[in-house]
Structure 1
């Protein structure tokens, strides 16, 4: 019973966290694991195993896979998905909380924790990408995108198979984000001021020519 409880908690937290990074990858991983029988999804997440839902998530994953690797477009994509990843992460965590058999109270806890984790991971991703995009080279952008996709798949697998390890890693992620985000925002603010100064810089005055009086 205890192992089932910690696994449900890890799934609840993992669903919220992963949705903030790549919602469609999270839906595909959970849907595929449920459909293949590798895990018994709680009733609130069984819909993810529906072929139509998996097809729609797969299509959007392909779109995001390419959009997420184009500098500039990835930040625009992240901005639009602020209104998708966070509420979806809250709802997926609430669905996962049904495995705790705590009724409406458990679902509300999942909704709150899932929304908070989705916000944390989404803001961390979007801020990091915006900072990376201040560099013109695309390699760092591609590397970050692939790393995020691997983290989502590996994180959810760990949550389902090694829940205690996942909770530990998630705690470290939250501490790292709390330490790192203010630094990233300061760097972004400094970069924004530099760009603003560059664009507002007045053109150099024309040189005075004594022979023409100009």
Structure 2
């Protein structure tokens, strides 16, 4: 049960920012004794992999805070964040997908299931974020982009650390994400009902 919460928290964090959970996992494994990655995921704590992940994190961190460019970044991240979510969920539940030499055996072994779950979870969060960002930019004339992005980064860090160090807190994160999505959907519907010609 705790492994599922860990994987879920990491995948949701990847939906907000692809690189944060991967950097957190790799860094905690390499520099602390707080987590122990299974052999199939040990590459995440390799110093070169960590260095590349940090560079990618910095690029996304900056790109996501520029109004207009953040929406372009979201389009690019439609593939990246779900992939990162699959990797994060897989490593979080200790799945072994080190080398797929026989795809048939891989499918039969069910090792792909955690990765697929992570992909779906991260994709759902990413889509909610991608839909919300243009609305925020329009409503705030772009001023809200860096604020929303910073909040998402903080949420991603919090979810990643909670998933690895206190998995039960992931439930709180799930409730917050669902609440935010419901609020955004309701606001969008209210705007459409007030300005039907604008929505069209």
SS of 1:69 mapped into structure 2: coil
Distance change in 2, residues 1:193/1:34 (3 Å) = farther
Q: Distance in 1 between matches of 2:192 and 2:22?
A: 34
Q: Distance in 2 between matches of 1:171 and 1:153?
A: 14
Q: Distance in 2 between matches of 1:93 and 1:188?
A: 36
Aligned pair partner of 2:23 in 5, 25, 28: 28
- Mapping of residues 70-85 of structure 1, within 5 Å: 70-85=66-81
TM-align CA RMSD: 2.8
Q: Distance in 1 between matches of 2:79 and 2:189?
A: 24
The structure having more radius of gyration, on CA atoms, is 1
Distance change in 2, residues 1:95/1:192 (3 Å) = farther
Distance change in 2, residues 1:29/1:95 (3 Å) = closer
Aligned pair partner of 1:50 in 46, 55, 63: 46
Aligned pair partner of 1:135 in 112, 135, 139: 139
Unaligned runs of 5+ in 2: 97-107
Q: Determine whether 1:147 maps to 2:154.
A: no
CA apart distance, 1:10: 2.3
Name the structure 2 match of 1:200. none
SS of 1:169 mapped into structure 2: helix
Unaligned runs of 5+ in 1: 197-214
Contact preservation (8 Å) 1:19, 1:86:
yes
- For normalisation by structure 1, the TM-score amounts to 0.75
Q: Distance in 1 between matches of 2:191 and 2:118?
A: 27
CA apart distance, 1:35: 0.7
CA apart distance, 1:77: 0.3
SS of 1:133 mapped into structure 2: helix
- Mapping of residues 81-96 of structure 1, within 5 Å: 81-96=77-92
Aligned residues: 187
Contact preservation (8 Å) 2:192, 2:199:
no
- For normalisation by structure 2, the TM-score amounts to 0.79
Aligned pair partner of 1:165 in 144, 165, 169: 169
Q: Distance in 2 between matches of 1:192 and 1:22?
A: 33
CA apart distance, 1:29: 1.2
Q: Distance in 2 between matches of 1:40 and 1:74?
A: 35
